[in-house]
Structure 1
Amino acid sequence: MQILQKSYIPKATQIIQVIEFLTEYLPKFSDKRIYQYFLILEFLKLFVKLRKWHYIDQYGLMISDYNKFGQADHQEDQAINLFQQKWGGLQKDLPIVDFKSAQEQLHKQKQFLPEFNQGQYDIIGDKQIPIIKTLPIPNNLKKREYESQINLLRIQIGEILFLLRPIIYCSFILKFGTQSYSPYLISLSLDILRFLIQFKIQIFRKSQKEELQLRVKDTIICYLLRNPFYTQILKQKCLNKILGLFIKEENLLYQLIIGLLDLRSSKCFLL
């Protein structure tokens, strides 16, 4: 059952996103009716994301489906398990090395020092790198820091804000309307609060770093293209004037650029 839910979670999210797109563009609903449907669909999406957070991400930092390092997590875990099966019986506690004195010796000597190596180091370029760092084993210290209670608490609070923000945004759109800046600023405040909470979290996977970078990029794009900022400021006062300096409004290229930006600024893409 758990495996089935894991495989259907991404599909369920994609289906909900398609329904949101069709809700905005196929029927001729008013903005209020569109956001009423969006609110219902976002609750469904919240349920799906909570299942993903529980089964796949285990209440840690959620990794999105389009994260290019997401698959690397699985491959890394497989490599770790294989290494532990074959070499798990090896001595784990390495002899203590005085790294400070070793570095001083390296600065004095240009030649490789066999007595320093002791079978624990390898030459990569012109540096001696601990062999343990070249093995497919995650940094245990970073993993322990990641799994500390305070670190997980920061992650989880940030993820809860990340999950609830679209629902809160839709709710305030229904209350204040699409031309009000109140939903925009409330949503922005929630994202800023999330960034502040998760700013100093410890991570140990490349996919986690990639996820945080993707969220920053998506957030910036969303607030540039989200109404009313997009139509009232970015489009009217910036894009039209700048494009008008190079291309006439009647030009097909001008209309294509504005049309693509208008499509990207669709309500369903910026929840």
Structure 2
Amino acid sequence: MKYRKIGLLYITPWIIGLIIFTIYPFIASFILSFTDYKIIYQPKFVGFSNYINMMHDGLFWTSLFATFKFVIFTVPLKLIFALFIALVLNFKLRGINFYRTAYYIPSILGGNVAITVLWRFLFQGNGLINQLLGVFGINPIPWFSTEYGALFTISALRIWEFGSAMVIFLAGLKDIPQELIEAAAVDGASPIKTFFKITIPLLTPIIFFNFVMQIIQVFQEFNAPYMITGGGPLNKTYLFSLMIYDNSFKYFNMGYGSALSWILFIIIMIFTLLVFRSSKYWVFYQD
């Protein structure tokens, strides 16, 4: 009993933070989603009006479609890139710990505002990217004035932050019994066949975990579209998080912003549940 009280004492700050910064806002946003709340006035109950209005809001559908495109484009590429780098870093090479650290750093810096601003300068008209393309005789690309160019720039930043997924993949690769790899080599299996028949099946629990985590994170992307493209051109990179932010803190329509937040929560929950339901068909656990 004594040690239980000591343990509770240690986690008290975390419990307080959970209640104040997670549970209370979670419940408050749900209640406010049924109100007309302009922050400076008292909330006025309006029922399902916010949810009904967003169904007739053209910008809502534009933002939702842009978010889906961003997620579909970003999540698979980030996982593939993270797995590829993890495979390379799994080899026993001189100074490998330095390279592992170097490849992990982007995941720490990627969410930094300064990095986001730097990323915008890299892709601007006379930025470094277009200068490098010019070396190969390629005309400058108007990254921010075309739909897929702007989408690529914000997706590239999220993909560049592959460090956390890479570390998890690397841990999974370390956990694969080398006896299986050696046995496959003795039986004459090529490295490619070994990768797809042994490595990938044994790695599916890690792929499943990273897939779920990346879906949750990418759906909530904010910094890149806000700082790099501003939602343009023509709202083609106006992700759902930007719409929530604008309605809540730019137009002070907190009720509508709360309703949008709950729609995003439901979408993420649906995608997560679909991945969980599908996992029994493609995720294999070692006995």
TM-score by length of 2: 0.22
TM-score by length of 1: 0.23
- Higher-Rg structure is 1
Higher helix share: 2
